Chain A
């Protein structure tokens, strides 16, 4: 049995526009108590891609490059976090590409400061511009099938529906939406982004058919981030295997596992 599981794991890769990842977990780089803590969590998670934000350089003091603290083997996924208009997101993506020499971008256009919900309209507008400029666009958006279709039609390489508000840790709030998205878009690469709080949340996202999960706060704000990172790694693998295995149907009443015949009288 362990051989079968290994076989499934090794042939299973997450592919985003030609970039191949063995791990289906993508993690953030914010909110850690120290760089050392971040790095040990990254190592424990097995993630091969991490997302970073773009910000103004402070002019009044020297600042070391944050990138130096990342394991050099990691693929860096710049994001447009903090942008509230399509124009600012496009500018941010262009700046990131200039430094990182990668076309990958996690596109975020936020619509509201309290909820950090995406502005879907601006996100779509930015996605169209960036795709035209050769970016590999991974947009954060509401878990809405119609928006998912529009983003894919615009040429996005993968789509990143939220599970719950960013940093909320509430877990998958609308499993039906994710399941519908999976069923209606069987060929799309769906990466659940934002809202996961603990390992079971990540497993549920994967059981619903997500191709991957992106998270930050759930690991960074855990009391022991490295341990939580390990838990997330296992949860993602478990959820993926359960999805591929195909779960049993839910039944209202009991169904005996032992044969009914031959019981002593």
Chain B
């Protein structure tokens, strides 16, 4: 199954949940936020949210910045 993570195309085996995807990507579960098809998915909903073909996932964190 192909999905897009942060704009990059990725092949996934099976139909993982968002929580499983985060684990597979070895991302820290805290201090990141996730959007699925342009809608924020709350942390408590990650494990119950199954991914589908062509889903677009955005995973963000915080970086140093002031403006612009």
Contact = CB atoms under 8 A, between A and B. Distances in A.
A114 to B, nearest CB: 11
A228 interface: no
Interface in B26-68: 26-28, 30-33, 35, 38, 40, 42-43, 58-68
A38 B28 contact: no
Nearest to B6: A56
Contacts of A110: 68
A95 B60 contact: yes
B9 to A, nearest CB: 12
Interface stretch (A77-85, A120-128, A230-238): A77-85
A167 B68 contact: yes
Contacts of B11: none
B31 A81 contact: no
A2 interface: no
A170 to B, nearest CB: 14
Main secondary structure of the interface of A (DSSP, over half): mixed
A14 B8 CA distance: 43
A81 B65 contact: yes
B67 A52 contact: no
Given A52-B62, A56-B58, A193 B67 contact: yes
Contact of A28 (B25, B30, B66): B66
A66 B67 contact: no
Contacts of B68: 81-82, 108, 110, 116, 166-167
Interface in A93-112: 94-96, 98-100, 106, 108, 110
Contacts of B6: 56-57, 59
A258 interface: no
Contact of B67 (A59, A65, A166): A166
B46 to A, nearest CB: 11
Contact of A66 (B5, B7, B58, B61): B61
A29 interface: yes
A56 B60 contact: yes
Contacts of A98: 33, 40, 42-43
Interface of A: 27-32, 38, 51-57, 59, 62-63, 65-67, 76, 78-79, 81-82, 91-92, 94-96, 98-100, 106, 108, 110, 116, 140, 166-167, 193-194, 214-217, 220
Given A27-B66, A29-B66, A65-B31, 9 more contacts: A30-B64, A30-B66, A52-B63, A52-B64, A53-B63, A59-B5, A66-B62, A91-B35, A95-B58
Interface of B: 5-8, 25-28, 30-33, 35, 38, 40, 42-43, 58-68
Lowest 5 CB-CB distances: which A-B pairs, in order?
A28-B66, A216-B66, A53-B65, A29-B64, A95-B33
19 contacts: A51-B67, A54-B60, A56-B7, A56-B59, A57-B27, A59-B5, A76-B62, A79-B66, A81-B66, A81-B67, A91-B35, A91-B40, A99-B33, A99-B62, A116-B68, A167-B67, A214-B67, A215-B66, A216-B66
